[in-house]
A and B are shown apart, each in its own frame.
Chain A
Amino acid sequence: IFGYSKSIRSVLKFSYHKHSTMSINKVLVGVKRVVDYAVKIRVSPDKSGVDLSNVKMSMNPFCEIAVEEAVRLKEAKKAGEVIAVSIGPKQCSETLRTALAMGCDRAIHVTTDLRTDYMQLQPLATAQLFQKVAEAEQPDLVLMGKQGIDSDAGQTGPMLAALLGWPQATFAAKVEPVGDGLVVERETDSGTETISIPKLPAVVTCDLRLNEPRYATLPNIMKAKKKKVDVMDAAEMGVDLTAKNEVLEVYDPPPRKEGIVVGSVDELVDKLKNEAGLIQ
């Protein structure tokens, strides 16, 4: 595997697969550790970024959906091995344990202390790291969430597809293996559309309606501790990790003017007419 650092080659072993009629032998699932969706974030007063100290972190909700889809494909015997991949600090091992507890077979942790909420490690470098893992693992399908709820960029999936020269289907609401490929129903601005991917491999990003992820049960969390997690250093993978869009500062959006409570529909109509000037 020319051009890959020694650390990747030594860590990733060639996986032998029994010949199968499945076209999806191996699935890579990206899982991102992000601020928990319910947290009310606080911007640091020095404008250096969102304050993440002591903040609850969780698996990105759209990554949970991606893991669930991969595990369902495996349970339906439509996919073979499912590998969870996460890029981030040492605590990503917890995120990966959750993915393993949900049913992934093994995991790959690409370590970095760079912030992954758009501040430092940005989508293109993230996609390039995933590209290295994909080139070494040779999956038939890469599943990712449609966006991280911290950076809200939604770019890693399509960028990875471009780098690999693979077909893509974003905002997937339904994924159906068909023949050597997939049929994906995806969300659009006006409803949904159906995309046929005649031949794998492909990258699919997952949207809200694709499935409802399972909770990791305690027995499965315990079992997950025995599953393999390979660790590699992002800085040693031959990818330029610098942010191409340098974040100069992070600040609060302007506050809204305080509103009032009205006592009746009549009062509301009066306000809308005479104060807001919105209706005749």
Chain B
Amino acid sequence: MFPLRVGASKLVGRSSAATARHRMTATTMSAISVRDASTLVVAEPTKDGAVSASTLSAITAAVQLDGGTGKIALLSLSDGSHPPVDATSLPSEVQSILQAKLDGDSGALLAETVAEAVKAAAECGTFTHVVAASSKFGANFIPRAGALLGVSPVPDVVEILGEDTFVRPIYAGNALAKVKATDAPLKMISIRPTAFEKADASTGSSAAVTDLEVPSQSLTEWTGESVSKSDRPDLGSASVVVSGGRGMKSGDNFPILESLADKLGGAVGASRAAVDAGFVPNDLQVGQTGKVVAPDLYIAAGISGAIQHLSGMKDSKTIVAINKDPEAPIFQVADYGLVEDLFKAVPELTEKV
């Protein structure tokens, strides 16, 4: 199952020019624990060093791939605004940590920098797999890192059948493809966070930390962000989601959904139609090209149920649809359908729930 140990320079098929360009630091690192690791999880940088929900799901996927040998390493990306990951808040399965201190305040957010970090990490261990969550953050750097390493990452994996066999959704999740990754000796996958339970972080990790040098890049600069601040749970990992669609008629009406979400301790989402119409910002979009969610309870209000929206929420455990159109396709996936005007039903539900 594990490959023969080969020297780092032969690990991946790179040109010798590429080798010379990057300072190899394997000899200066006490890399014993890193060299033992077979699976590298790339952690998403956070503003407080906490381990994000999607990173915990990626760790679960890595544990499945690793087959229980516990040889999981974590790549922690830090910069001026993103501290190193706190090992005590990692599951015990993480055996070693590679710490990449990146340039400036936000080097950890730039695909060019992160891809170089992944490449440098891959070159100093004998990893068989690199795993990351398929969030927008992951989708930005994983393909770039793959191309740098000559690897075709398998995107948005929902099931791991073996160390080289994965299932991924295509056609908006209306079909599943079972694929066999033939890249060797390194394979890369991104995983759909809702398909993998979050690893238990309470166990805490005693992983040794090894510094990783990453070449800097000046192709891009990060200059600012606009973040929706909310006290509500994160949409991608909330256990309850209340979503609104075109039937909400206006962004001004979303507070009625917010009240229901708050009563249920959930997050607020939206269909593409609502985002398109400018009712809510894009990071609320649930769907094929937005966020994929799988909460315990998904309440769709004024959402017709287009294929593209369904693909973002059909793995929810219980789906409730509220729509005054009895023909709306959403009723085909709903466990409980209520044909009623949402402007009457949602406040009533909020009151009675």
Chain A interfacial positions (CB closer than 8 Å to B): 35, 37-38, 40-41, 43, 50, 62, 117-119, 122-124, 127, 146-147, 149-163, 166-171, 173, 183, 187-198, 202, 207-209, 244-253, 256-257, 259-262, 264-266, 268-269, 271-272, 276, 278-279
Known A159-B146, A191-B225, A251-B175; judge A154-B112 contact (CB<8 A). Answer: no
Give the distance in Å from the alpha carbon of A146 to the alpha carbon of B139 in the complex: 10
Most-contacted residue by chain B among A122, A127, A146, A245 (CB, 10 A): A245
Give the distance in Å from the alpha carbon of A252 to the alpha carbon of B352 in the complex: 38
Cβ-neighbour of B170 out of A151, A157, A170 (below 8 A): A151
Q: Are A149 and B174 in contact (CB under 8 A)?
A: no
Known A155-B146, A161-B144; judge A50-B152 contact (CB<8 A). Answer: no
Q: Are A118 and B170 in contact (CB under 8 A)?
A: yes
Give the distance in Å from the alpha carbon of A257 to the alpha carbon of B136 in the complex: 31
A residues within 8 A CB of B252? none
Known A118-B177, A151-B170, A188-B136; judge A183-B225 contact (CB<8 A). Answer: no
Known A40-B307, A150-B170, A253-B169; judge A162-B175 contact (CB<8 A). Answer: no
Interface size range on B against A: 35 or more
B residues within 8 A CB of A155? 139, 142-143, 146, 153, 155
- Which residues B211-227 have CB closer than 8 A to chain A? 218-227
Known A188-B225, A250-B175; judge A158-B140 contact (CB<8 A). Answer: yes
Q: Are A194 and B225 in contact (CB under 8 A)?
A: yes
| Known contacts A159-B144, A162-B148, A188-B225, then 13 further A-B pairs from the complex at CB < 8 Å, ordered by chain A residue | A43-B174, A149-B288, A158-B139, A158-B141, A167-B220, A169-B220, A190-B283, A191-B281, A196-B221, A208-B285, A247-B179, A250-B177, A251-B175
B318 within 8 A of partner (CB): yes
Give the distance in Å from the alpha carbon of A154 to the alpha carbon of B220 in the complex: 20
Cβ-neighbour of A278 out of B145, B170, B296, B352 (below 8 A): B296
Q: Are A244 and B222 in contact (CB under 8 A)?
A: no
Most-contacted residue by chain A among B170, B331, B340 (CB, 10 A): B170
Q: Looking across the interface, which residue of chain B has its beta carbon closest to that of A61?
A: B289
Give the distance in Å from the alpha carbon of A278 to the alpha carbon of B335 in the complex: 13
Cβ-neighbour of B144 out of A158, A183, A253 (below 8 A): A158
Contact with A along B272-289 (1 / 0, CB 8 A): 100110000111010011
Give the distance in Å from the alpha carbon of A232 to the alpha carbon of B349 in the complex: 60
Give the distance in Å from the alpha carbon of A268 to the alpha carbon of B344 in the complex: 14
B residues within 8 A CB of A260? 335-337
B258 within 8 A of partner (CB): no
Q: Are A259 and B319 in contact (CB under 8 A)?
A: yes
Give the distance in Å from the alpha carbon of A196 to the alpha carbon of B289 in the complex: 24
Q: Are B171 and A278 in contact (CB under 8 A)?
A: no
Q: Are A278 and B297 in contact (CB under 8 A)?
A: yes
Q: List 29 A-B contacts (CB under 8 A).
A: A37-B308, A38-B307, A41-B171, A50-B175, A146-B289, A149-B172, A151-B170, A152-B156, A152-B173, A158-B142, A161-B144, A168-B111, A171-B139, A188-B136, A189-B137, A189-B283, A190-B283, A207-B289, A208-B272, A244-B182, A247-B177, A248-B180, A251-B178, A253-B175, A262-B338, A271-B336, A272-B336, A278-B297, A279-B353
Give the distance in Å from the alpha carbon of A150 to the alpha carbon of B173 in the complex: 10
Interface of chain A, main secondary structure: mixed
Q: Looking across the interface, which residue of chain A has its beta carbon closest to that of B320?
A: A268
Q: Looking across the interface, which residue of chain A has its beta carbon closest to that of B54?
A: A189
Q: Are A247 and B338 in contact (CB under 8 A)?
A: no
B154 within 8 A of partner (CB): yes
- Which residues B313-348 have CB closer than 8 A to chain A? 314, 318-320, 331, 333-340, 345, 348
Q: Are B171 and A152 in contact (CB under 8 A)?
A: yes
Most-contacted residue by chain B among A43, A166, A268 (CB, 10 A): A268
Q: Are A158 and B228 in contact (CB under 8 A)?
A: no
Give the distance in Å from the alpha carbon of A95 to the alpha carbon of B220 in the complex: 32
B29 within 8 A of partner (CB): no
Closest 9 CB pairs between A and B? A167-B219, A162-B147, A155-B143, A244-B152, A158-B143, A159-B147, A193-B225, A259-B335, A191-B227
Q: Are B337 and A244 in contact (CB under 8 A)?
A: no
Q: Are A123 and B336 in contact (CB under 8 A)?
A: no
Known A124-B146, A155-B146, A197-B219; judge A261-B154 contact (CB<8 A). Answer: no
Give the distance in Å from the alpha carbon of A123 to the alpha carbon of B188 in the complex: 14
Known A208-B282, A265-B348; judge A245-B289 contact (CB<8 A). Answer: no
Give the distance in Å from the alpha carbon of A170 to the alpha carbon of B138 in the complex: 11
B270 CB → nearest A CB, Å: 12
Known A154-B155, A190-B227; judge A269-B175 contact (CB<8 A). Answer: no
A residues within 8 A CB of B319? 259
Give the distance in Å from the alpha carbon of A269 to the alpha carbon of B349 in the complex: 7
Cβ-neighbour of B152 out of A123, A154, A269 (below 8 A): A123
